[in-house]
Chain A
């Protein structure tokens, strides 16, 4: 097979079961491609050549000793994936993109990682991220920016930019990411891949290095909705080790229905608040065209309003930093990571944190500490939590009348490296369309719906009611049956 790296995760799983390809061949093909291109992309922070080949060989042995193509074989046996470097993989470095975790090698697997390993995956390595997932471009990584495969002068989005760039350039068929304010959906949009942020509580966060605990969700990148569903179904579900995970039956995701079956009767809401001044014209046009395509396939389109959308930005940038300021208190040079020596413990904390956290992380810790501090708590954090209730109600009300909400993922396509680096607020504004889903806890799926005049991918997101990932995935899968945006490849990495 000339193009192993062109196999989607699902196609690879099928080919492995039919013994048309071995996991060793497949894994080697991706590792060779990573070795060839990671220098120009910086998508991976850690490449686990030996561990990946060991797991691939173990998968091949299992395939050889199994009878037929079923015989209780795990669903993703032998399929290589990448993991964002904020999730722990036992024995593999985890930096969260920060100097303060340099050298840290976690002694346990994140639940999502453990479940996928049980499902048979081979982990190629850890992907780059904005430091502690705080950013929209991966420029905040302490280990250098990841480059967008569609134009290496541009950012891949963030914070899961390494995973998105890896999937877009076929350094991996699928990858794990995390989404606290858009960190799966926005890089998926910027890199032309499909990315899911599940419902809050659907997927365990055990082993995720926490940023904003009331917002964080572990998600998936792949080249199409079918693959996203295949990984999601393996990692979703209640976990005794995450008290915020919900004990609900696993979602049934059946993608075998015809396009007509999925689209007939599907009610799609289009919120006016997501088509605002300042949005790039190409983005608006591509999203409207995609909505019309869904309509032609049988869906009905309904203009809706989510009136509190404009407050999502300040609400998020008070709540997330407040939670971060507490979560990141654990990084103090005592239990892991480097330590700057001083005579007293408090000075060790101050010196280590001051020297090893990067500028954006310090900025958010400062902002969050301020929002929680005596005298300002009610005006900032308290008020933000109340307005969050109003944002959540917007969605609950909308989902009484529609099944999904269609909207742009970001106001622009991928921007240039350095374009926003001197202006934090301009960077925060890139997140306006992704923050509301995190604040309301609802799922969101980003997938490619066109290109702008520079040849950069444009994504659209579908948001659904709590725990209705199935509708989002079926709708995107149906769309991908009749379009080929998701099949395009960046010419420089063809």
Chain B
């Protein structure tokens, strides 16, 4: 199967990736080849098979849920220290919505 450039654009948009024209062309070719190789998978009969959403062996339960109570956590200062832009204990970002002056 072969992806179209429009499909590549659409995927890049969903993934919020800005790609150059050269990258789009390269990914179109490479992803098409990979997906083509994967088409074998469609031939496996999985009519009565459930998806493996967990590989934890049946019988072994994951840990119990924790109590919903407050507990110590990292400080706000330590969490903001790596931010490119922060103000008043919060991350600062450019406008999310379009607006007009």
- Seen from chain A, the residues whose Cβ lies within 8 Å of a Cβ on chain B are 103-108, 200-201, 214, 238, 240, 243-248, 308, 310-311, 314-315, 317-318, 325, 329, 332-339, 341-351, 353-355, 357, 359, 362-363, 365-367, 369-370, 373, 379-380, 382-390, 392, 424-425, 428, 439-441, 466-467
Whether A424 contacts B63 in the complex (CB less than 8 A), given A355-B18, A385-B51, A439-B55, comes out as: no
Query: A366 touching B62 by the CB < 8 A rule?
Result: no
Offer 30 A-B interface pairs, CB within 8 angstroms, sorted by A: A103-B82, A104-B82, A105-B81, A105-B82, A107-B74, A108-B74, A214-B55, A243-B62, A246-B56, A246-B63, A311-B41, A333-B84, A335-B91, A343-B95, A346-B16, A346-B96, A348-B94, A349-B16, A350-B16, A350-B18, A354-B18, A357-B17, A366-B17, A379-B42, A382-B51, A385-B53, A386-B46, A386-B51, A388-B52, A466-B57
B15-37 at interface with A (beta carbon < 8 Å): 15-19, 23, 27, 30-31, 33-35, 37
Question: Which among A201, A325, A344, A387 is the interface contact of B15 at CB below 8 angstroms?
Answer: A325
Distance of A102 from chain B, by nearest CB (Å):
11
Query: A386 touching B50 by the CB < 8 A rule?
Result: yes
Query: A336 touching B94 by the CB < 8 A rule?
Result: no
Whether A362 contacts B17 in the complex (CB less than 8 A), given A314-B40, A387-B44, A389-B49, comes out as: yes
Query: A353 touching B17 by the CB < 8 A rule?
Result: yes
Neighbouring A residues of B42 by C-beta, 8 Å: 379, 383
| Bound CA–CA A338/B82 (angstroms) | 9
Distance of A278 from chain B, by nearest CB (Å):
15
B101 contacts chain A at the CB level, 8 A cutoff: no
Give the 5 A-B CB pairs with smallest separation, nearest first.
A441-B55, A354-B18, A385-B51, A386-B46, A107-B78
Distance of A435 from chain B, by nearest CB (Å):
13
Main secondary structure of the interface of B (DSSP, over half): loop
Question: Which among B23, B38, B51, B82 is the interface contact of A317 at CB below 8 angstroms?
Answer: B38
Query: B82 touching A389 by the CB < 8 A rule?
Result: no
Distance of A367 from chain B, by nearest CB (Å):
6
Which chain B residue shows the least CB distance to A90? B78
| Bound CA–CA A349/B94 (angstroms) | 11
Distance of B86 from chain A, by nearest CB (Å):
9
| Bound CA–CA A291/B66 (angstroms) | 46
Number of B residues whose C-beta is below 8 Å from A? 55
| Bound CA–CA A200/B55 (angstroms) | 7
| Bound CA–CA A384/B11 (angstroms) | 19
B69 contacts chain A at the CB level, 8 A cutoff: no
B100 contacts chain A at the CB level, 8 A cutoff: no
Whether A369 contacts B38 in the complex (CB less than 8 A), given A244-B56, A342-B94, A390-B49, comes out as: no
Neighbouring A residues of B56 by C-beta, 8 Å: 200-201, 244, 246, 441
User: Could you mark each residue 57-78 of chain B with 1 if its beta carbon is under 8 Å from any beta carbon of chain A, else 0?
Assistant: 1001111101000000010001
Which chain A residue shows the least CB distance to B93? A345
Neighbouring A residues of B93 by C-beta, 8 Å: 334, 345, 348
Neighbouring A residues of B31 by C-beta, 8 Å: 363, 366-367, 370
Query: B57 touching A389 by the CB < 8 A rule?
Result: no
Query: B37 touching A363 by the CB < 8 A rule?
Result: no
B79 contacts chain A at the CB level, 8 A cutoff: yes
Distance of A335 from chain B, by nearest CB (Å):
6
Neighbouring A residues of B41 by C-beta, 8 Å: 311, 314-315, 318, 383-384, 387
Query: A389 touching B83 by the CB < 8 A rule?
Result: no
| Bound CA–CA A410/B15 (angstroms) | 32
B98 contacts chain A at the CB level, 8 A cutoff: yes
| Bound CA–CA A401/B33 (angstroms) | 39
Which chain B residue shows the least CB distance to A333? B84
B12 contacts chain A at the CB level, 8 A cutoff: yes
Which chain B residue shows the least CB distance to A239? B63
Which chain A residue shows the least CB distance to B84? A339
Query: B94 touching A335 by the CB < 8 A rule?
Result: no
| Bound CA–CA A385/B11 (angstroms) | 21
Distance of B96 from chain A, by nearest CB (Å):
5
Question: Which among B40, B49, B83, B95 is the interface contact of A336 at CB below 8 angstroms?
Answer: B83
| Bound CA–CA A107/B74 (angstroms) | 8
Which chain A residue shows the least CB distance to B27? A366
Distance of A475 from chain B, by nearest CB (Å):
21
Whether A390 contacts B46 in the complex (CB less than 8 A), given A107-B79, A363-B30, comes out as: yes
Beyond the given pairs A314-B37, A362-B17, A362-B27, 8 more chain A to chain B contacts, judged by CB atoms under 8 angstroms and listed by A's residue number, are: A103-B82, A105-B81, A238-B63, A246-B56, A246-B60, A246-B62, A370-B7, A370-B31
